[in-house]
Structure 1
């Protein structure tokens, strides 16, 4: 057995996110255009007492965490990933997971899903299980709809509940600025408010969903001017309803020269599209000063979960 194993997995934004009507099982069909970013979660797995699995936040984290903001016990998604791997393979070892957070927490960017994907890769290596990437992805899907995409990275269209992935090949770089909030939004609550808003507008039956082929082409070609008008997130109205101050972020981004902006996933992180990397750094500096937050320049696509050492 190795002394330790470290894996990385990316956070993501939803360049487009459409939500179908509420299903009888309580879920929604979605159509998402995922883009993995170069903000990577790092998970290092160390041997621990047999049958135990727990997490700790690494001092190498660049995201400032409040005490108890991220659970470290059985509710942690990386711990759940380790437990699931043991259940699937019959492995009886234990693991301590050190997590270096670089993706905003509870911000709609899939940081917890990235932790789970990286934990699957790291624990598989630590314990010498030799599972295939396909097996790890199927296990990841049992942990959450965003975990399989964090395994693949790059860019992909996601259907179903977001886990039916069709990867896009040869996607040119695009440049973004991420504006985290000092608070989180509950994903189930955001979906619930979306359903309430649709019902109050007599639109309980949402329109058909699907990703615009023109947006896919523009993202592949690295054409931000054409990408910008096609950004869409059906959850945005619900996120703004719960956090009206997000409107100020959109306005500040527009004045800073952003091509477009939208809430990432269920929010409240806002993703701002820039013309190029230089513009992204300039916009990030300006918004950091104006909004008194840490705006983060980022680039996509980025590779999926992988073993580092």
Structure 2
């Protein structure tokens, strides 16, 4: 299995930890795989806050396990985390049914090395996570564990509570479903930086002509306000319409480049507070997709992350 992670989250698990030798070993095992567990949960849920809840629940179950009965600690922890994530995923599905406007994944700061790992960056990108949203919960879990983390069918079967043959069929179905909807093409890091910088300057200066030059004719803007803050309730399609919306950002807002979900992004602040996280998809030197997360509930985790990194 690939030990892929989306950040540098280490540190002690939350929850009570008693000072005995057995528990020290349990804690070390959990901390050693914490980044991996977070990434598995996040890719299944598209929510950093819910992924942290999964980690807490995984820890509480793991601390009650007799280490002597566990042959493969990593596989065992992934199994616990997967089952907890599936439970959250089904609850999230019910919440999304009444969600106001487009639903976007909760933005997650990612380090530069993630952006250079093309396969991992693609798996956590806004565009890819939206494709995964079209899968049923078990299909999503199987796809993530198999295609992203390269788990064997036997391990996945234990994690999702299905037979090995059933998991193989689910994996095949999910792979075909994702392949038909997977975003095409990935810009080089240098090309993405150039395009994003030109985009940022055009927005900050209000230069409509320069903005139109960098937007693809069929560019799509999705804005997630969750019914809490102002946001478009349907996708905004086309360079002219998107440029009109972006033209309202104004000089009062500051735009700082960042790496979010493996994509180039801009963190938009108003009076020092995060107002919007705008992730960009770049193809052939043009911005083809814009994902604007404005729901304050979805910005709180990233706000804490940026505060810690200052």
TM, length-normalised to structure 1: 0.30
- Give the structure with the higher percent strand: 1
TM-score calculated relative to the size of structure 2 = 0.30
The structure that is helix-richer by fraction is 2
